[in-house]
Amino acid sequence: MTIYRSLNPADFPLPEWHPYMIGSVVPRPIAWVTTVDQSGRPNLAPFSYFNVFSSKPPVAAFSPSTSARTGKPKDTHQNLLEVPECVIHLVPYALAARMNITTGEYERGIDEIERAGLDTIPSEVVRPPRIVGTPVQMEAKLRQIISLGDNPGAGQLILVEIVRLHLAEHILNDKGHPDPRKMDVIARLGGFWYMRLVPESLFWMKQPRNPAEVMAWHELPRDIRESKVLSAAEIGHLLAFRPPDAERLASLPEPSDPEALHRKMQSLLPDKAEEAWRMYIEHVQSGI
């Protein structure tokens, strides 16, 4: 049985609580954000309290907190109040260390882009520039800022509407959509840990469109529910794919050597659940 450590946020001051927040929701994508101040000076900073929240309208949000060091809003937040536009970039592994350089809390007006040796190209719709070498770039306009407090560490949730999406050709699949196998972007974990989006860490799982495409737990043959070979994840993949003749499963005999059969099915999971079921049914029907 899993033993849990249960924490009450109210018991912890910010520096002790922060590691639990950034370590518990993982991995987080990183918004690498360009903004400009009212005199047009650019700023670049990373934020991993970030995601997209609506497709139409296309809305993204990230959250620069009030600085724990200075007690002031971060430059990105301040700039958005002056010029309500930004460009959000995803960070490719190739630029991970450059991204790290741009996190330094430099004085306002210091150009982190120049310091990190990065090149820019103009945006089509907004004033902040785009960072060269990033695979995904979202030009966006400010919609709303939701202040979650004014103490150090309190997030200032910035909601922006995407007005242009730029995708590097080399990350696209044959339908023109971003292919996760080609992106190699980084994500933030707890502490100083990061991860790379690389093919070895991916798996494919089709979303069932309606409940008739999946099985119910009680419909799974008993040997599969109690398998000593198949992992919980693999049993889940079988549960999520309903074979065409699922109703017949209950009336079929149990396999004589379930472990051997489960090992064969295992080699087809996670992506070939259909074949794994076909093999199971043929096997038990033939009485082996």
Ramachandran assignment for 224, one of left (phi > 0), alpha (psi -120 to 50 degrees), beta (any other): alpha
DSSP state of 67: P
- How many residues contact ligand FMN, by CB under 6 A? 18
* 34 counts as binding ligand FMN under rule CB under 6 A: no
Kindly state the smallest distance separating residue 254's Cβ from ligand FMN, in Å.
52
Among 29, 60, 76, 92, contact with ligand FMN (rule: CB under 6 A) = 76
Q: Are strands 120-121 and 130-131 parallel, antiparallel or unpaired?
A: antiparallel
Q: Kindly identify the residues of this chain, within the stretch 218-257, that bind ligand FMN according to CB under 6 A.
A: none
For residue 230, CA distances in Å to 88, 206, 261, 286 come to 42, 20, 10, 22
Q: What is the CB neighbour count within 10 angstroms for residue 275?
A: 14
| C-beta of 105 vs 179, nearer to ligand FMN | 105
* 32 counts as binding ligand FMN under rule CB under 6 A: no
Alpha carbon distance 7, 143 (integer Å): 35
Kindly state the smallest distance separating residue 121's Cβ from ligand FMN, in Å.
20
Query: How many DSSP H helices and E strands does the chain contain?
Result: 8, 12
Alpha carbon distance 229, 259 (integer Å): 6
| C-beta of 188 vs 237, nearer to ligand FMN | 188
* 280 counts as binding ligand FMN under rule CB under 6 A: no
Q: Kindly identify the residues of this chain, within the stretch 139-198, that bind ligand FMN according to CB under 6 A.
A: 188
Among 29, 34, 61, 75, contact with ligand FMN (rule: CB under 6 A) = 75
Residues near ligand FMN (CB under 6 A) are: 30, 43, 45-49, 63-65, 74-76, 100, 103-105, 188
